[in-house]
Structure formats: structure tokens, C-alpha cells
Amino acid sequence: MRILTVENNTIDTILSDLLKRSPNQYGNYEEAVNKILADVKENGDEALFAYTKKFDGAELAKDTVEVTQEEIDRAYEQVDAGLLSIIRKSMENIRIYHEKQRQYSWFDTTETGTMLGQKVTPLSSVGVYVPGGKAAYPSSVLMNIIPAKVAGVKNICMVTPPGKDGSVTSTTLVAAKEAGADHIYKIGGAQAVAALAYGTESIPKVDKIVGPGNIYVALAKKAVYGHVSIDSIAGPSEVLVLADETANPRFVAADLLSQAEHDELASSILVTTSMELAKAVKKEIEGFVKVLSRKDIIQKSLDNFGYLLVAENMEDAIAITNAIASEHLEIVTKNPFEVMMKIEHAGAIFLGEYSSEPLGDYFAGPNHVLPTNGTAKFFSPLGVDDFIKKSSLIYYSKEALMEVHKDVEKFAEAEHLTAHANSIAVRFEELE
């Protein structure tokens, strides 16, 4: 892992390297994705099941694509009781956190006879994508479904790739049932996104698609945006640790590696004011990598997108941190709360040496679906707001409109929209 002293061109080089990981750079996959989307849109279930056979090796049909209650019951039998208890504790933390994000309709009235307001309505239907196959991500199930339930979404359809035998991982099924999924379908990839966006004979069209996936899923979500809404285009995972000389190098190294093990495109960055800490972290990383189970993936991630950056002072370190706008930011300094106040861009912020990033992944409550690739500069974590829509409310009495109708008419005429002006003026013809 490289130790670099920060200079004027260092950050530009690093940002350029990190942006290579963005789904926006995966243009060579777009043709294949667009072909799948068009095929499912045109041919529905026939194409959907053909791609499931091709990519997942599973034979599915209209009567087997949806997970049955019997399959869910078997899944409960296979999940360890201790793990189920932990899932339920995590769910409660996530639910309590997201309930604080709820928004409510509001109305303001005036004595002149106007009422203005905002009506908050949950989305009617949402599709949740959960990675599957050999992998099991019950935490992703909880993080995507629970905010939708809190928001009041009536129909939540979860999709996840099946194994070759057409089954879904037991922990994924149990988490989906516990969180409140209304339907669970055994489909994945770009074909699943197409089914949710356009609808097929077996899969209902939804209003919004959320959840992370591979390159094909990310590009498919990008392509169907407009037919449906989406949460974001998720890129590879990333963590930035902002630390001073007081940080424990062993803790910092462990936290950096917790993200490097996700995949070879994951990014792990230390920004520090201490060269001694950087050297100590590098040594700890080398020791950990030798014994961790995913060491090959970790090493490639560190070689390609891992940095140990040494800044001259904390002001420069904070500036670098804001420029990178990491998905996960850990602040491990003498006074992390003071430093936090100067952070402008980050998906989730973890404060102090005992607030390790995996707390956010699994248990603390805030959502782990976060903006990546610098998009924390303008995107937020997934939350209740993603599952609602707002309608403006306007009411004017005749008396209230009479006071302002000339102003409105003049404004419309200034834009040469005479029909707009007439729509107001016609109501007061008798006064002319």
C-alpha cells in the first residue's frame, strides 16, 4: 500500500484513479445490457426465464418464479436462532432510526383567504434488488425494505438471483420476511431490473427500483431511469479514515481492510497528519493480509485503489477528505466531533476509534446504502425520503385572487403567454 506525501497534484491524480471505478466508465457493457432490457420489455416472461437459465443456471416458470410460503418456512428452519435474534435487533435499530426521518403533510392558511401546503404520499410500489447466487446479504435486505415500510409503501417486491437449483439463500429469505417484503422473486441481473421497470406476465411493474448490484444491474438501473425512479447508481465500496497521531494503527488498518475485502475495485484510504502513523498502519496491514480469508481480493484492491496519504496539517487533511467525498468516513482524531463540523462531503461519518464502519453495515441503524465515487457531494444515504413523493397544495378564495390577479396577469403577459393571463382574467370579467 502506497504512502504518499500530499502535494498540489496528488489529489487530482487520486480522484482520477478513483473515478475509473465509476459505473459511468463501463460503456463497453452497455450494449449487452440494453439488449437484455429490450428483450424483456418485448418478450416478457419468455425472455426473463431464458436469461435466468443462461446466467444463473436455474429453470424457472410462471408458477415457480415467486418464493412460496413453504420455501420461507424451510428457510426459517435452516437459520440459526442466534442469527435470527441478531437480525431482529438490527431491524429494530434500523426502524427506530428511520422513523425519525418521517415527513408529514402540512398546511398554512392566511386571513386573506389562501391556503398553501404540501401533501406527503408514500410510493405505491417499490422493487428492491438484493445480490444473491452464492452470496447472502441479509443486511442489504433490511436496509432497503425497512425505510420503505416506515414510509408506508403498500407493495414491496424483492428480487434476488437464485442458485442453480432455483433456491434463494435462507438468510436472505428470512430477512425479507422479517422486514416485510410483500413478494419475493427469484430473478437477478439486468433482466430483473427490466422486469421491475416494464412488468412481465409474472412480475408487476413498480414505481421505483432500489438496491445495489453488479455492473449489469447498475447500468440497467441507469438505463430504465425515467420509466421508473431509482435510488442511485452504486459503485464499488470505499472507506476513508481521517486520523491524527493519537489513532491506534492496528484499529485503522483493520478498518481499511474491512472495505478492501468487498472486491478488487474497492478503495481504502488513510488521510493523516502523521508519517509515523502511516508507516505503522502499513505494517499492520501487511500482517493482517497474510491471515485474512479474502487476501487475494484485498491485495488487488490495495494495490490499485489503496492510499496512505500524509498531509502537512489537519486543515489540509480535511480539505483532501472533502475533495474525495468518501462513501464511509471514519474520523479518528483527538477531538473527532470538532473535526466532523468541518466535513462537507461524506456518505456516513463514524466518530472515534470504537465506531468502526461495520457497525453501520449491520447494526447501528443508519442506512448502509450510501453514495459512492464522490457523489456524496450531491447525494444522500438511502432513507425514508426515497420512498415518498410530495404534492404542492394551493387554495385561493375569490377575494384572495382578486387582490393579486392583475399581478399574475402582468407576469404571464411578460412571458407572452396570453392564455395563462386569460385563465386569471376571465374570473373577473364582470369587474371590467
Residue found under cell 390577479: 405
Within 8 A by CB and 6+ apart from 105, the residues are: 117, 118, 119, 120
Amino acid at position 91, single letter:
M
227 classed as catalytic:
no
Q: What CA–CA distance (Å, rounded) separates 273 from 261? A: 26
Cβ 188 vs Cβ 132: under 8 Å: yes
Catalytic residue among 328, 330, 357, 409: 328
Cβ 126 vs Cβ 207: under 8 Å: yes
Q: What CA–CA distance (Å, rounded) separates 317 from 273? A: 7
**Residue 205's CB: how many other CB atoms inside 10 A?**
15
Please, what is the angle between helix 170-179 and helix 81-99, to 10°?
Answer: 40
Catalytic residue among 284, 327, 330, 353: 327
Taking the CA atoms of residue 192, residue 169, residue 265 and residue 273 in that order, the dihedral angle to the nearest 10 degrees is 130
328 classed as catalytic:
yes
Cβ 239 vs Cβ 255: under 8 Å: yes
Within 8 A by CB and 6+ apart from 373, the residues are: 18, 19, 21, 22, 23, 235, 238
Hey, what's the cell of 267?
Answer: 478503495
Tell me the C-alpha to C-alpha distance, in Å, between residue 287 and each of 4, 268, 284: 20, 16, 5
Q: Which residues are catalytic?
A: 327-328
